[in-house]
Structure 1
């Protein structure tokens, strides 16, 4: 009886533990079900994947100032925290009660702000998070005001400081939502979060206009910027605004560009975008047998190799954007581009943003910058390719040497993943590969590679030709002598 009683007790305890486990799992499943039934979060501020960060960590982490939670409290960024508080004081001391207005609006939007970050923000609910958004947002606004009114600024007076600060503000992991900046700016400038449309005078631009002008002027890019996005466009953060200003949408990039496409043996001028949408693969690549076999090339020849195949590399004079690349009748036209140290960080972060912004349901053609990086990495395979592009006027290399220039786009290309079956430069890839596989360009390249690759091979060929000519003349002379003796 005692043994049976003990067994019952053990079973009862086991059942009770099991019930607690069941209840706990059911509670978690219920919470998860409620989460999945809710609207999916719209992330806009991402972390760089570790395998991409490993080789390029220097270009993804801020060097002077931390904005947002991802790099908060890092030792080498602590010095700028003093300047942040000084900027906050200057903004708040100019108007009574404005600090309370700032904090109230950020508190009201706290849930929406947190939802912008793909990783859980490692700050407690409430004051810490709100304080961070307030301090970082006011720092950016005051920094822009200093630039707008040309005010002396201890943080930016050094010649290297402002470029580094702007570079930090254009890193994917170093962002706060754009609507936070807009709220702070509007409260300070117009006295309310949503000013009427007629409140924007010449001396009081909207924050969107101010930010666009500053990014254009301080980044010193030779790429012509696009129009400032309309007020209704949902801008996620400063990096997103920079992307909209300098990386045109595929329709904008492709509408002016016309390329020759062979369809059923006839040439017709058409636009690449409708082809991607309407044509099947065989029509898109062309009707030749080669195009049927090679529909989606992954690479094209480098610049120096293309010259061996007879391709003419030419700087494009009239173009809609730096993405406006075309190939026609053996001529590859590419708009001029400048590469320098600061360009690398911007391109890497722009491409990282472009990669994170897509998804399985997004048309891969909407990643034009990634496609462009892959194309340029193919052209610039070695230092000799950089020299060829410089001579053609396509490239201005402001890096240390041609070797560094060759590494530039290969480093950028590491995080540029594209769908080779469907990207905006696919037709250029197809036509270049098809041209190089044609009979004469292929054999021309073989002749140049085997017989004209060095002075020694050229000398050997010349000697062989001279010997051949002498042999021919000797043979002709022998025949004529024999004929004259006979008659």
Structure 2
């Protein structure tokens, strides 16, 4: 009996402690739902993609505390310190700049630690030091790229790709306000005569560094989410300060979200999973797949139905070009993981990936989409494209589907009578 009482008391203490931590965390997040949050990728994402490259862990450089100290990343620690030193040397008084940056990070350490509440860091971790070194490294690298200075990382294609990849990882982020404050204390204090042109903003430096992530047609697109006026912010429910660099890029490449199209998002159901028509099957039942020409929004899909001729009727599904290269999979996977971790974030990239996963089931689907100009493949093989979406299908499950209205119209067009021809074609694929 004594053992049972001891066990019961132990469980009660554990539950009280857990309840206190949970209540404290919920109170914090609900009172400040847009406070910057640094996430870990959910374990289920990694378990579902064991056969693929780990697209969630850095291979060259760690940013922030989550991967710091790993053996294969130690070589870049000295590089980060040297970049921090070079950044300080750009200002009028490097020693004073160093003291100001160190003091600012020390003062802000409690605020920074709040951003990592979900990942349960050890209290002994010196976040102020990590933020100072990693933040200054990032700013120096971004500034060098912006002003086109010679750089051993940027001028080496392999290093440049690896660093680009690592800086886009969800687990390799630091709070955006850290970068903003360090940028203000360093780059904005560089004498004007040392600048090649006007002094850039932090956002300009970041977008320049990651220019063309969605393909050349999107490289110069103005960021609709990055508006400065208070009136513009009031019109856009999605306009909030970014949590980190990955969030900034999510905002940059996302379509403009206002009151009208926000409420048009689909209900939280499994309608997406119920629709099974691939690209080749849609083609057979009368849906012509076509590229959207000169689109400024890669999410702007259009579905239209043509006139009926006796029992025959064609329709058209227009999709903007989707560029695929070596950086596509890690970038998309981390954007999807970010959306899944953030309940306040619209599932725009998850919805688009889910749509592409439905359309692509075989190499014939990839071939059809390439011929239509919808997929721009730089990987060299259709098997590689098929592999990307085959693996991504396990994770691309949106909470609310961005294309709900379009999908409803498409399902209505694909009637049961058309489904017979689709099922027939499934057993007689194209050569």
Per the normalisation by structure 2, the TM-score is 0.79
Give CA-to-partner distance per residue, 1:396-445, whole Å, 9 cap, x none: 122231122112223233222224xx422122222222222253x34554
In the alignment, what sits opposite 2:404? 426
Q: Does 2:105 correspond to 1:120? A: no
Counterpart-to-counterpart distance in 2, 1:378 and 1:317? 22
In the alignment, what sits opposite 2:297? 321
When residues 337 and 153 of structure 1 are mapped into structure 2, their CA distance, relative to the original with a 3 A threshold, is: same
Give CA-to-partner distance per residue, 1:366-394, whole Å, 9 cap, x none: 21211111111111100111111111111
Q: Which of 350, 372, 396 matches 2:352?
A: 372
Cα displacement (A) at 1:155: 3.2
When residues 185 and 448 of structure 1 are mapped into structure 2, their CA distance, relative to the original with a 3 A threshold, is: closer
Cα displacement (A) at 1:250: 4.5
When residues 410 and 226 of structure 1 are mapped into structure 2, their CA distance, relative to the original with a 3 A threshold, is: farther
Is the CA contact (8 Å cut-off) linking 1:222 and 1:338 kept in structure 2? Answer: no
Q: Does 2:129 correspond to 1:145? A: no
Instruction: Find the residue that maps to 1:78 and give its secondary structure.
Output: helix
Instruction: Find the residue that maps to 1:230 and give its secondary structure.
Output: coil
| Larger relative contact order (Cα-Cα within 8 Å, sequence gap ≥ 6) | 2
When residues 431 and 394 of structure 1 are mapped into structure 2, their CA distance, relative to the original with a 3 A threshold, is: same
Counterpart-to-counterpart distance in 2, 1:36 and 1:453? 53
Counterpart-to-counterpart distance in 1, 2:430 and 2:95? 78
Counterpart-to-counterpart distance in 2, 1:180 and 1:206? 14
Structure 2 portions without partners, runs of 5+? 231-239, 306-314
Give CA-to-partner distance per residue, 1:225-272, whole Å, 9 cap, x none: 4426135741111101111111224459xx8xxxxxxxxxxxxxxxx7
In the alignment, what sits opposite 1:109? 108
In the alignment, what sits opposite 2:397? 417
Counterpart-to-counterpart distance in 2, 1:34 and 1:274? 30
In the alignment, what sits opposite 2:310? none
In the alignment, what sits opposite 2:45? 52
Q: Does 2:204 correspond to 1:209? A: yes
When residues 28 and 230 of structure 1 are mapped into structure 2, their CA distance, relative to the original with a 3 A threshold, is: same
In the alignment, what sits opposite 1:401? 381
In the alignment, what sits opposite 2:73? 77
In the alignment, what sits opposite 1:223? 218
Counterpart-to-counterpart distance in 2, 1:25 and 1:449? 55
Counterpart-to-counterpart distance in 2, 1:304 and 1:101? 61
When residues 51 and 427 of structure 1 are mapped into structure 2, their CA distance, relative to the original with a 3 A threshold, is: same
When residues 182 and 114 of structure 1 are mapped into structure 2, their CA distance, relative to the original with a 3 A threshold, is: same
Cα displacement (A) at 1:215: 2.1
Is the CA contact (8 Å cut-off) linking 2:299 and 2:320 kept in structure 1? Answer: yes
In the alignment, what sits opposite 1:391? 371
Is the CA contact (8 Å cut-off) linking 2:291 and 2:320 kept in structure 1? Answer: yes
Structure 1 portions without partners, runs of 5+? 1-10, 193-199, 256-271, 282-293, 456-487
Is the CA contact (8 Å cut-off) linking 1:68 and 1:174 kept in structure 2? Answer: yes
Q: Bigger CA drift: 63-72 or 25-34? A: 25-34
Counterpart-to-counterpart distance in 2, 1:221 and 1:143? 22
Give the paired residue count. 390
Counterpart-to-counterpart distance in 1, 2:289 and 2:222? 27
Per the normalisation by structure 1, the TM-score is 0.71
Is the CA contact (8 Å cut-off) linking 1:316 and 1:335 kept in structure 2? Answer: yes
Q: Bigger CA drift: 149-158 or 179-188? A: 149-158
Counterpart-to-counterpart distance in 2, 1:245 and 1:321? 11
Counterpart-to-counterpart distance in 2, 1:39 and 1:123? 19
Give CA-to-partner distance per residue, 1:260-305, whole Å, 9 cap, x none: xxxxxxxxxxxx766558xx99xxxxxxxxxxxx976632311111
Q: Considering only aligned residues, what root-mean-square deviation do their CA atoms show, in Å?
A: 3.7
Q: Which of 251, 274, 284 matches 1:244?
A: 251
Give CA-to-partner distance per residue, 1:321-370, whole Å, 9 cap, x none: 111112221211111111112111111111111111116xx7xxx21211
